[in-house]
Structure 1
C-alpha cells in the first residue's frame, strides 16, 4: 500500500506540506492547472524553488498575492482615501489584501470547491480539511459552521495550500497517510485578535485527539492549516512505519532556527 509519512520534527504548515510534496517528485505545474478551476487565479501567483535550511536542501513553496486582486468596486470606493494618504499605501498594502482575501466565509469556500469540478478524491479531501478548521474556528468564536469567516485561514494562500495538498496527494497515488506526533511550539504569537499563546486556540482545537509533541522551541511550529492537514489525512500517528522507501521530500518553512532545520520531511513508500 502506497503510504505517505509526515515526519514533523519542526512542525507543519500548509506551505511546508506542498513544498515537501513537490520535493518528493509531485508535479506543481499540474497542480497549478487544477487550481485554475477555482477561478481565483487572478488573485495569486505561485512560486517554488530550492533553498538550503541549516544544511538541508529543501523546496520552498509560496503563494504571492497579486496587487490587482482587489475588486473594482472596492477600488473606486477607497480611491479618494488612497490619494489623500498616499504615504499610507505601502503600509496598508498587506492589510488591504488581508481584508479582501480574508473575507471569505466557510460556506463560500465549500461552494467554490464543489463548483470547481476537481476530481472526487481531491474534493473530499479539501472539504474535510476545511470542515476541520471551520469547526475549530466556530467552536472558539461561538459560531455555527456556516457563520464562520475565515480570517487567517481563509486567505487565498490557505485555500491554495489545502486544495493544492489534496491535488498533489491524489496525483502521487497515495493510499494511506501516517504522521509523527505534532510539535506545536510554545511562546506567543500576534494574530487578528491580539496576543495569543502558542499553540493558538484554533490549532489546539484542531489537534484534539492527535498526539502533540513538545520540543522546547519558542515559536509557532504548527499552523491551523498544517494541523488540519495532518489531523484529517493521517490514519495513524506514531513512529516511522515499516516501509520500503521510494521517495523523500523536504518542504521548507519560512522561519530559520539556530539549531535545527525548519523543514517538514515526508517519506513515501510501500507498506506491507
Structure 2
C-alpha cells in the first residue's frame, strides 16, 4: 500500500515546526546533521528538545550557539535521551512562529527583533550555492533549490523587481535555510508516495517584517498560499510563516481531512510559544493508505423544481459548493401535470446536512426536500506534475490497492497551455498523457 504523510496544520505551520515534527516522528538527528553537510558553521549546533505546548509533549527544533545553551524545561522528568544535540550551530533558534498576541502588532520573531543566526540577507544565487554544497541526496537538493526559487519569484512579483535582485530577508537567514533544507531532507527520508495536508490555520492580526508591518498572512505567505484552502481560528498571531507555507504547499498534492490510512508514526513539532487553550504544534502522521477502510458516509438531498427562474441554478450551485457540498448536479425531469422541471441533487457530509438544506430552502422555490444517508466508495486520488514540451501539467491519478485505474490531465492546465501555444487542447492532453506514461 502507498506510504502517506499528512500535515495537520490546525495551529499553522513554520519551518522549525515541520522539522520538529519530523524529528518527533522518527527522523534521526545524526542523519539530519550529515545531510546538512557544509551548511553547518563551527560554533553552532542543532538541538531537538522535548517541551510542552498546552500540556502536549512535542519536539522543539532549535539552532543554538555554544555548547551550554539552556534548553526549555523538559516535557517530563526522567526523559533521558529525549533531548538530541548535534554538532555546533547557532544561537537560540527563535523561529518566526511565536504565535504572539497582536497588541497592537503580532511580532514575528525575526532576525531584526530577536537576533537570528546569520544576519546576511542572501540572494537566490547565494542560497543555491549553499544548498549545492550540502550532502542532500540529488532529489532533495533539487527540490530545496526549487522551493527557494519559488519563494524568490513570489518576492520579486510582490516588490516589482527582477528575481536576480531579490534578497531574501528573514528566509535568507541561516537558521531559516537550515529549516527549509533540513525539512526537505526529512520529508524525503520518510519516503512517502503521497503527501497531503489539512486546510491551514493562518491566524490573524499584524506582523512586523524587514519591510514593515503587514496584515496576517504576510504578503509572501499569502502569495505562496494561492489556491490552497486556508482559514483563521481568530487567534491574533501569525500562525503560518513563509517557511511553513513554502514547505507544506511545496509538498502536499491535495488538501482535506485525514485520509483513510493505517498510522505508523506521529510527530508533534512545537512552535516558539506555549499558547493556552490549543497546542501550538504542527502534527505529522505517517503511515500506509488503507484502501480497505470502511466506506465514507455521505448524505444525499434531492428536490424537484418547476417554477424557478433557470438563471438562479448557477449561483445556487456555487453557494452549495462554497458551503461544503461534495457534488451538485441537475437533471431534467417531467413532473406532475406534465410540467418540465429540474431535479436538484446535492451530496455532502452528514454533518453538513442542515447547512446545505438551509441554502436550498433559501435560494430556491422548493417547499420540501428529501434526504438519506448512504455509503460512498472512492478510489485513492493524488495529483502529480509532469513536464511536457509546452510546459508543466498536473495529472490526476486514481488508484485502488496500489493499482492505477485512471490518469487524467488537468483540463485547466491543458486549456491554458493550448491557448498560450496556439494548439488544440486535445494535443496538449495527449502530450501530458504521454509524459505521465513514460
Question: Which bin holds the TM-score, normalised by the shorter protein?
Answer: 0.7 to 0.9
Q: Verify: 1:250 aligned to 2:268, yes or no.
A: yes
Say if 1:34 and 1:167, in contact at 8 Å, map to a contact too: yes
User: 1:149/1:58 Cα in 2 relative to 1: closer, same or farther (>3 Å)?
Assistant: same
Structure 1: 5+ residue stretches without partners: 70-92
Count of aligned positions: 249
Query: Deviation of residue 125 (structure 1)?
Result: 2.1
Inter-partner Cα distance in structure 1 for 2:112 and 2:226: 32
Deviation string 1:172-216 (CA, Å, 9 cap, x unpaired) is 222221101111111011211221111111100111111112211
* Residue in structure 1 matched with residue 145 of structure 2 by the alignment: 127
Query: Deviation of residue 140 (structure 1)?
Result: 1.3
> SS of 1:42's equivalent?
coil
Q: Verify: 1:34 aligned to 2:39, yes or no.
A: no
* Residue in structure 1 matched with residue 354 of structure 2 by the alignment: none
* Residue in structure 1 matched with residue 51 of structure 2 by the alignment: 51
Matches within 5 A, 1:73-84: none
* Residue in structure 2 matched with residue 204 of structure 1 by the alignment: 222
- Return the index of the structure with the highest Cα Rg: 2
User: 1:99/1:61 Cα in 2 relative to 1: closer, same or farther (>3 Å)?
Assistant: closer
| Alignment equivalent of 1:171, drawn from 185, 189, 197 | 189
Query: Deviation of residue 229 (structure 1)?
Result: 0.3
User: 1:267/1:106 Cα in 2 relative to 1: closer, same or farther (>3 Å)?
Assistant: same
Alignment RMSD (CA, Å): 2.4
Inter-partner Cα distance in structure 2 for 1:107 and 1:222: 26
User: 1:247/1:100 Cα in 2 relative to 1: closer, same or farther (>3 Å)?
Assistant: closer
Q: Select the structure that is richer in helix.
A: 1
Inter-partner Cα distance in structure 2 for 1:27 and 1:131: 28
Higher relative contact order (CA 8 A, sep 6+): 1
Structure 2: 5+ residue stretches without partners: 67-87, 90-110, 292-438
> SS of 2:42's equivalent?
helix
Matches within 5 A, 1:82-101: 101=119
Q: Verify: 1:62 aligned to 2:62, yes or no.
A: yes
Say if 2:118 and 2:175, in contact at 8 Å, map to a contact too: no
Deviation string 1:107-132 (CA, Å, 9 cap, x unpaired) is 11112223435211211221122122
Say if 2:36 and 2:135, in contact at 8 Å, map to a contact too: no
Q: Verify: 1:22 aligned to 2:23, yes or no.
A: yes
Deviation string 1:15-46 (CA, Å, 9 cap, x unpaired) is 000000010011111101221233x4237421
Query: Deviation of residue 3 (structure 1)?
Result: 1.0
Say if 2:37 and 2:133, in contact at 8 Å, map to a contact too: no
Say if 2:27 and 2:189, in contact at 8 Å, map to a contact too: yes
Say if 2:52 and 2:274, in contact at 8 Å, map to a contact too: no
Say if 2:24 and 2:269, in contact at 8 Å, map to a contact too: yes
Inter-partner Cα distance in structure 2 for 1:35 and 1:54: 32
Deviation string 1:236-268 (CA, Å, 9 cap, x unpaired) is 111111111111000000022221110000000
* Residue in structure 1 matched with residue 178 of structure 2 by the alignment: 160
Inter-partner Cα distance in structure 2 for 1:59 and 1:196: 30
Say if 1:183 and 1:213, in contact at 8 Å, map to a contact too: yes
Q: Verify: 1:270 aligned to 2:288, yes or no.
A: yes
Q: Verify: 1:260 aligned to 2:278, yes or no.
A: yes
TM-score after normalising by structure 2: 0.54
User: 1:29/1:214 Cα in 2 relative to 1: closer, same or farther (>3 Å)?
Assistant: same
Inter-partner Cα distance in structure 2 for 1:95 and 1:189: 12
Deviation string 1:142-193 (CA, Å, 9 cap, x unpaired) is 1222221011111001110011011111222222211011111110112112
Say if 1:27 and 1:168, in contact at 8 Å, map to a contact too: no
